[in-house]
Amino acid sequence: MELLSSAWAYFINRQDLMFEVLKEHVTLVLWATFFTIIIGVPVGIAISRTEKLRNMILGSVSVLYTIPILALFGFLIPIMGIGSTPALIALIIYGLLPVIRNSCVGITQVHPMLKESAKGMGANNLQLLFRVEIPLAFPVIFAGIRTALVMNFSLATYAVFIGAGGMGRIIMQGIRTFNTGMMLAGILMVVITTVLLERMVGVIDNRIQKRYSLSD
Amino acid sequence: MTREISVELQKVSKLYGQDKVVDEVSFTVEKGEVFVMIGPSGCGKTTTLKMINQLIPHSSGNILVNGTDVAELDVVELRRSIGYVIQYIGLLPHLTIQENIAFVLKLTKHPKKMQKDRAEELIETVGLPLNYLNRYPRELSGGQQQRVGVARALAANPDILLMDEPFGAVDPLTREQLQNELLRLQESIQKTIVFVTHDMQEAFKVGNRIGILRQGKLVCLGTPMEIVKSDDEFVKNFIGQGALFEVFDTIPVTRVLQKDFPTARYDQKVDLQAEELEDWENVFIIDSDDSCKGYIPLSSLNSDGSYTADQIIPLPKASSPDISVKLAVQEMLWGGRTWLPIVDEKSGFKGIVQFRSCAGLVAGDRR
């Protein structure tokens, strides 16, 4: 109880800092997710067309995904130093796997008969992609984005190791200065915001799944 | 009179590697005709259909649509000019019924207002209520979805419709209903329809002409009656034993209806020498108000042609002139008679159908 109240006191006293790190954190995650989508969705769609490319790309993205984040930082720092750029790159790399995989799966699972009937009615390739394939794959693609977003949000806590700020700053500083109140405030903030985000995106996801539910 | 030709295939083949799935198929489809392709699975009927709108490119031969070789046409434009109907699962599940019907119009960037008007018009054409336009395909039954599929194919008002087993996924009762609706619709829209099915009964019912495919080859081509009479063993086996009856189902009874039949005025003697009695077993007694009182078998008349009132047998239950020959024959079999009176609800007694003339439909041109 004492710990909690000290954490609360820290939170109240340093509201400005709290908002600052939250802002850093959210900014980093949103940019990372943005780029993940921009890169991942087109790549996922592209590899849905050819099986050879699909195995190659999914294979290499899976390998990247298994690298621990600290090791990845160790790899990125010699190339681009510290700051938000390498942090952003790291997060993008982690987010790519679910987004690429889901985009690819979403597109390939569109019933061939639907594609053929759209083609038979005179849809050209672009119309087929944007009016049939992407809308029908959207629930699956969105599920991938959801995974990437929530994962990036929690991974971004490590960004402090590479000097990119975020909520990890409070925790790290708390540990370094033996300030348990500060440390706990940081931990609670990370946990609570992550859970909130997960819930929020979950609600949106449920709506999308319902809206697009294709059961006969 | 030369009839316009809508679709023509000239020695069209399709090869997959070494496999010839369609082998030099040639046929023409006249404007306004329903041409049915049928055959066992893997015979190449669907492949042939899809080559017409180039969903599958052909390997050799020529395909002409309204006189133009499809090789010279842009495939997207070609497909937009031809209606395409497949089983109901072909509706796009993320679009409303209205968006589904107007899909082609949307692809061709027609104004929204026009898309809506056309969808409203077509949903009525296929007999569904207007408020279905805002629903999604999954909220409709299979038969209803299939009707939407037909409406969708008509959206851009194409001259030609390609239908690939359109009623294959619905229950038999709904299928029959949809077939009837298609026939009724076809009477007013007069499209050229190329129709693929594996159901012989359906082929006889909807087809003006039928082509039977086997291993990529067109083995038999003709009207339902010509098909039934084919001597080809494969065709005979394929169409099955009941085929003739199914063809009879497509022929209106009016084609074998005899309006001249032997009559006698009530209270007059029957002239036994009259030529019109030949080939008849009964004479029909007409009352003074021109209605038919009943009939008397010739065998029970007195030798001078006279009879008494109690000899007159009342007419059996009459049938309407809208029925098919098949139904007429069925009625005769039920009643244990070789003839059937046909009576129109409004205009009264139409005539008599004899079993002999039904039988003559087939044997007639065989002799």
In tens, the pLDDT along B55-102 reads 999 999 999 999 999 999 999 999 999 999 987 668 998 899 999 999
> Residue B348 above 90 pLDDT?
no
Closest chain B C-alpha to A110 CA, distance in angstroms: 11
Report yes or no: A123 and A132 within 8 Å, Cβ to Cβ.
yes
Least confident window among A68-72, A129-133, A195-199, B248-252 = B248-252
pLDDT in tens, A143-172: 999 999 999 999 999 999 998 889 999 999
Closest residue, chain A, to B91 (C-alpha): A114
Cite the DSSP H helix spans in chain B.
45-52, 75-80, 97-101, 103-107, 112-125, 142-154, 172-189, 200-206, 224-228, 233-239, 243-248, 325-335, 355-366
Percent of chain B predicted with pLDDT > 70: 98
* Residue A120 domain flag: yes
Local structure of A123: helix, strand or coil: coil
- Name the one residue in this structure whose structure tokens are 């699909």: A54
User: Across A180-184, B116-120, B260-264, which has the greatest mean pLDDT?
Assistant: B116-120
Phi (first) and psi of residue B140, to 5 degrees: -110, 155
B89, B94, B99, B164: best mutation site toward chain A, by most A Cβ within 10 Å?
B94
Closest chain A C-alpha to B87 CA, distance in angstroms: 9
| Among B residues 52-71, those touching chain A with beta carbons less than 8 Å apart | 53, 55
Partners of B107 on chain A (C-beta within 8 Å) are 121-124, 127, 131
Q: Cβ separation of A114 and B55 shorter than 8 Å? A: no
Angle (nearest 5°) at CA B201 between B195 and B205: 60
Q: Cβ separation of A214 and B138 shorter than 8 Å? A: yes
Partners of A117 on chain B (C-beta within 8 Å) are 84, 86, 90-92
- Name the one residue in this structure whose structure tokens are 């129709």: B195
* Residue A216 domain flag: no
Least confident window among A97-101, A137-141, B336-340 = B336-340
Cα separations in angstroms, A20 against A14, A151, A155: 10, 21, 18
Q: Cβ separation of B107 and A119 shorter than 8 Å? A: no
pLDDT class of B130 with cuts at 50, 70, 90: very high
CATH of B5-239, one of 3.50.50.60, 3.40.50.300, 3.20.20.70, 3.40.50.10860: 3.40.50.300
Spatial distance between the Cα atoms of A137 and B312, rounded to a whole number of angstroms: 76
Q: Cβ separation of B106 and A131 shorter than 8 Å? A: yes
* Residue A39 domain flag: yes
Within 10 Å of residue A156's Cβ, how many Cβ atoms?
28
pLDDT class of B2 with cuts at 50, 70, 90: low
Closest residue, chain A, to B102 (C-alpha): A121
Partners of A140 on chain B (C-beta within 8 Å) are none
Report yes or no: B3 and B24 within 8 Å, Cβ to Cβ.
no
Q: Which residues, in sequence order, are CB contacts of B348 under 8 Å at separation 6+?
A: B290, B291
- Summarize the confidence of residues B221-237 as an average pLDDT: 87
Q: Name the residue facing B138 among A113, A131, A216 (closest C-beta).
A: A216
Closest residue, chain B, to A115 (C-alpha): B90
Distance of alpha carbon A145 from its chain centroid, rounded? 6
pLDDT at residue B324, as a whole number: 87
- Summarize the confidence of residues A133-142 as an average pLDDT: 93
Residues of chain B with CATH 3.40.50.300: 5-239
Least confident window among B109-113, B220-224, B266-270 = B266-270
pLDDT at residue A214, as a whole number: 54
pLDDT at residue B1, as a whole number: 52
pLDDT at residue B367, as a whole number: 33
Spatial distance between the Cα atoms of B49 and B27, rounded to a whole number of angstroms: 12
CATH architecture, domain B254-366: Roll (3.10)
B103, B140, B146, B162: best mutation site toward chain A, by most A Cβ within 10 Å?
B103
Closest chain A C-alpha to B104 CA, distance in angstroms: 6
pLDDT at residue B364, as a whole number: 57
Report yes or no: B80 and B104 within 8 Å, Cβ to Cβ.
yes
Q: Cβ separation of A214 and B93 shorter than 8 Å? A: yes
Residue B120: Cβ-neighbour burial (10 angstroms; 0-12, 13-18, 19+): middle
Report yes or no: A201 and A29 within 8 Å, Cβ to Cβ.
no
Number of domains comprising chain A: 1
Please check whether residue B77 touches A, CB under 8 A.
Answer: yes
Quick one: tokens of B343? 């009576």
Q: Cβ separation of A120 and B86 shorter than 8 Å? A: yes
pLDDT class of A215 with cuts at 50, 70, 90: very low
pLDDT in tens, A12-48: 888 899 999 999 999 999 999 999 999 999 999 999 9
Least confident window among A189-193, B53-57, B253-257 = B253-257
- Name the one residue in this structure whose structure tokens are 């594996």: B198
Spatial distance between the Cα atoms of B26 and B8, rounded to a whole number of angstroms: 7
Mean pLDDT of all residues in chain B?
Answer: 87
CATH number at residue A7: 1.10.3720.10
pLDDT at residue B97, as a whole number: 94
* Residue A9 domain flag: yes
Spatial distance between the Cα atoms of A146 and A198, rounded to a whole number of angstroms: 8
Q: Cβ separation of A122 and B104 shorter than 8 Å? A: yes
Least confident window among A19-23, A191-195, B164-168, B235-239 = B235-239
Residue A39: Cβ-neighbour burial (10 angstroms; 0-12, 13-18, 19+): middle
Q: Name the residue facing A121 among B77, B94, B103 (closest C-beta).
A: B103
Partners of A132 on chain B (C-beta within 8 Å) are 92
Report yes or no: B21 and B216 within 8 Å, Cβ to Cβ.
yes
Q: Which residues, in sequence order, are CB contacts of B216 under 8 Å at separation 6+?
A: B13, B14, B20, B21, B22, B23, B25, B43, B44
Phi (first) and psi of residue B38, to 5 degrees: -140, 155
Closest residue, chain B, to A132 (C-alpha): B92
Report yes or no: B339 and B303 within 8 Å, Cβ to Cβ.
no
> Residue B243 above 80 pLDDT?
no
> Residue B129 above 90 pLDDT?
yes
Spatial distance between the Cα atoms of B157 and B151, rounded to a whole number of angstroms: 10
A-side interface with B, Cβ within 8 Å? 111, 113-114, 116-124, 127, 131-132, 135-136, 212-216
pLDDT at residue A216, as a whole number: 37
pLDDT at residue B366, as a whole number: 39
Please check whether residue B103 touches A, CB under 8 A.
Answer: yes
Q: Which domain holds residue A168?
A: 2-211
Report yes or no: B328 and B352 within 8 Å, Cβ to Cβ.
no
Partners of B104 on chain A (C-beta within 8 Å) are 121-122
Q: Cβ separation of B152 and A214 shorter than 8 Å? A: no
Q: Name the residue facing A135 among B78, B94, B153 (closest C-beta).
A: B94
Going by C-alpha positions, the residue among B64, B73, B79 that lies closest to residue B29 is B64
* Residue A153 domain flag: yes
> Residue A84 above 80 pLDDT?
yes
Least confident window among A206-210, B27-31, B147-151, B266-270 = B266-270
> Residue B273 above 80 pLDDT?
no
Closest chain B C-alpha to A114 CA, distance in angstroms: 5
Residues of chain B with CATH 3.10.580.10: 254-366
- R_g of chain B, CA atoms, integer Å: 26
Quick one: tokens of B212? 């039977």
